[in-house]
Structure 1
Amino acid sequence: MQAAPTPQGPISRWLSTAQPEALFVLSAVAQYVGAALAVVLFDEVEPQTVAWFRIIGAAAALLLVSRGWWRGWTRRQLVGVAVFGLATSLMNIFFYLAINRIDLGKGVTIEFIGPIAVAAATTRSGRNALALAFAIAGVAVLGGVELADNAVGLVYILIASALWAAYIVVGSRVAQVDRGVAGLGLGLAIGSILTAPIGAPWSGPVWVAPSLLAMCLLVGVFSNAIGYGIDQFTMRRIPIRRFSLLLALLPVTASLIGWIALDQRPTTIDLLGIALVLVGVTVQERDQIERVEATVRTDPA
């Protein structure tokens, strides 16, 4: 039995009806603003500690806006939420360990191997297989070769990639409980406790510097509370296969943000990769049931 749905406010209603593609771009922008802040903090705080505070900050923000988040959970749902929170927390930690050694855009692209694997496992038609092929080709082009001299960074990003796949599969089940972002917030709270041995030992300088503490928590608000919170609404509306394929927009968005904010102008090869990913997202087949459900959701009756 599912927990009782949380009443929706205006923001929740908008997130429940907006186009998934637009939500993905908004989520990506929030996540990469948070990632940019995190990279700046790496000079003063260990990456795993920044990630740990990111988890704490996100959990606090999400639970603060979730009414009655502690009520109505079944034992099975709590186990799922805990697994989701741990996978997401470890994904954050390994991703930050990776981007401390690998360029952010490159890391995001390589990490996308996980979502591609999920999409491949859930593809059910020739058209979706073609869309997936375009997305894989685009990610391969954006990813390039290199990293032969950065084995540690590569291992970290591949672990984060596997955890990203777990985030999609388990997170989709948590989202179907339909408790707004309460499941995400509770999961991250549990994850912050379970990963404390990884992040807490180097946290001393943060606790005595209010500005550092505020920045670390702000990273969590942008990257997890906003970014992952949007994902939870999107996961309720579309199949895992489509969600996994739409995640191809993340490396594309990362490249565009790098160009606009950091003057990291993409090469012709980069633009080719972006184009291939966008073709894959456009070609994908939307199931008939999605169109029916969308009609029901937008019908004022």
Structure 2
Amino acid sequence: MTYKIENLPDEVTIYEVGPRDGLQNEKTVVPVEVKAEFVTRLAAAGLKVIETTSFVHPEWVPQLADAEDLLKAVHRDNQVRYPVLVPNERGLDRALELGCTEIAIFGSATETFAQRNLNRSLKTQFDMFAPVVRRARENGLRVRAYVSMCFGDPWEGPVPIAQVVDVGSRLLDLGCAELSLGDTIGVATAGHVGALLDAFPRERPLAVHFHDTYGQALANVVEALRHGITVIDASAGGIGGCPYAKSATGNLATEDLVWLLDGLGIRHGVDLHALAATSHWLAGRLGRPSPSAVVRALTKE
């Protein structure tokens, strides 16, 4: 049974981040064969955008040291997009060598996180990203930009909306096709989400990326939908988390998002039961129950 809310989008794109953003925080290295099957099963469940890995230095994120092997192991469906995260030009070189057609860059809305995560200042991060975006576009790649710490920063506290808009706008002006606004530590609430989205010009191509640390992710999604957002990031099974947020419970679970969208009558193209079965399977490989409430309900975990 569906009960629609007026003035919401008829259809959304789910940008699946589980294989990259979800698995990157796992302390035990997941075998590349398991990762490849995970990606394949996500595609079979109907997800059309699956962020597969990241070309970061192995010392930074050991879990993703097998990026090349994973991309070679995945049988890529022509109907599915497989973006990869690249931190710099060397990461772009690796992506180009492997025939990737879509990349993402990862910026910061705050000075402290830029220094800690990018080894750049809030202002000089753009000097690192500009040649990446330019060269990627010259080679026909689609480029997405993430902005982290859009709502709160563990060192700086609440982040001024004008500061987020400035950073996000500069990333889009480099030539990025889409900007994902990240609630990295999960402190956003619906009113704050609405205020930030209102601060961007309507024509800007925005997506949202929520963490469920305080149980607000789905409420924030509804607010984003009210503002016309049609691209929503999520992680199968709710895997992942933020190392900077005490008691963080990780990314918005894709299954929880799908349950919400189904109830609202919003099309998304994902088979919920196939997806829940995939997350249940992965939870077994990770050795713990799925964080997703919907996965637990459907699989009786």
Alignment TM-score > 0.5, same fold: no
Bigger radius of gyration, 1 or 2?
Answer: 1
Instruction: State the TM-score, normalized to the length of structure 2.
Output: 0.32
By percentage of residues, which structure has more helix?
Answer: 1
Greater RCO structure (CA 8 Å; 6+ sep): 1
Instruction: State the TM-score, normalized to the length of structure 1.
Output: 0.32
By percentage of residues, which structure has more strand?
Answer: 2
